[in-house]
Amino acid sequence: MRKATLADKNLAATRLLINLASYLKNHAGVELSQLAEDFSMDESEMRRVLTEELMVTGIPPYTPADYLCVFFEGSAENPRVYLHQHEELRHSVRLTPAETLALRSMLEMFRGAASGDEASALDSLAAKLSDAMPAESDAVQVKKAQGLAGKTQTQPTRALLRKLESAISERCVIQIDYFNLHANESSTRSLWPLSVFEEGSRFYLLAWCEEREDERRFRLDRIRSLSLLERDFPEQARGRKRKAPPRAAPSFSGGKNAKKLVVRFDAEISEDVISEWGNPPAKCELAKDGSALVTLPLLSESWAISWVLAFGPRAELVEPMELRAQVASRIKAMLAR
């Protein structure tokens, strides 16, 4: 018998999560015992897969409930299970060229572990993705996408956030090279940046566009380059032709009164945390006992709670106090289920 490879295990895990999501969508409120029986698993393992794997589905850094949120109702011993999908999953998926490359490379990795109908389905999907790719895409780009799909890369986003926070605070006009997915083209925009906010698992920039003479919002992962121009925009920019407010509260809008998130991490993981989050605007202090105190802008309350909970008992939310209370309440509710 052939020894199971990493690709085999990844394919099996992915297959399970896809089947679970589909099952829960069509069987809302199924009892945990019945769900475990239907998937030939014991209840404790099914509960672990739901809360530690299915919920942590999305894009780096894979924070809980980015796209799928599992919740339980009823008795703690045998609760009913429900699945909530993020709004983005209710519509047809539109991928950037980089996302298409990454998906195709992952399919090729899974293809080696598939057989029969699964192999045919993967081949068909890979062919469709290839047809949708720009003509200039080749094997070199696919290899680059493999690195994109296989490794968490948060540094570019953090660098972009630092530039935007500075531009918003100083009311500095910026120029961006932005990829428009619907038009499948890039354009250069001169913007008055107003705020950055989080919606689902994405960060967006709300800005006044000089070219469109109107407010627009821009996905940060589609900004290919950003530069600060040597001119300011007026304070009253925030009031001109304002559209309906964004569906999420601003993550930060500059100024001295911007909220801060302060988290203490155990010595066991402090070096890794500082390595990942130790660049401005975050501030890190290493204590004598080896623990790390990290201070960074409070991007959004929902993000902060999910981020802290993802570290389990190795992280303590220090400030703000009202958010600390929310985390405690969330943990108590989880234990009571």
Residue 228 to residue 240: CA distance in whole angstroms: 22
Greater confidence, 37 or 304? 37
Look over the chain and give the mean of its residue pLDDT values, rounded to a whole number. Answer: 76
Q: Is residue 160 part of a domain?
A: no
Specify if 178 maps to a domain. Answer: yes
Is the residue at 30 inside a domain? Answer: yes
Per DSSP, 263 falls in state E
Residue 42 in any domain: the answer is: yes
Cβ distance 50 to 20 under 8 Å? yes
* Separation between Cα atoms, residue 129 and residue 131, nearest integer Å: 5
Task: Assess whether pLDDT exceeds 70 at residue 257.
Answer: no
**Are 284 and 246 within one domain?**
no
173 in the same domain as 240: yes
pLDDT band at 92 (very low <50, low <70, confident <90, very high): low
Domain assignment present for residue 159? The answer is no
Whether residue 161 lies inside any domain: the answer is: no
Mean pLDDT for the stretch of residues 116-138: 73
CA geometry: angle at 201 spanning 100 and 247, to 5°? Answer: 120
The Cα 58–Cα 47 span in angstroms is 19
Domain holding 213, by residue range, is 166-252
With respect to residue 158, please indicate whether it lies within any of the assigned structural domains.
no
Q: Which of 193, 219, 252 is the last residue of a domain?
A: 252
Q: Give the model confidence (pLDDT) of 67-86 as tens digits.
A: 777 877 878 788 889 887 76
Of residues 207 and 132, which shows the higher confidence score? 207
In a domain, 156, yes or no: no
Closest CA to 95 of 110, 85, 105, 84: 105
Same domain, 268 and 305: yes
Label the pairing between strands 30-31 and 68-73.
unpaired
> With a threshold of 0.75, does the pTM exceed it?
no
- DSSP symbol at 234: -
Predicted pLDDT at 242: 44
Q: Is the pLDDT of residue 90 over 70?
A: no
Do 273 and 313 share a domain, yes or no?
Answer: yes
Q: What is the reported pLDDT for 176?
A: 95
CATH for 29: 1.10.10
Are residues 329 and 271 both part of a single domain? yes
Asked which of 105, 120, 150 is the last residue of a domain, the reply is: 150
For residue 177, give the CATH number of its domain: 2.30.30
In this structure, the answer to whether residues 111 and 182 fall within a common structural domain is no
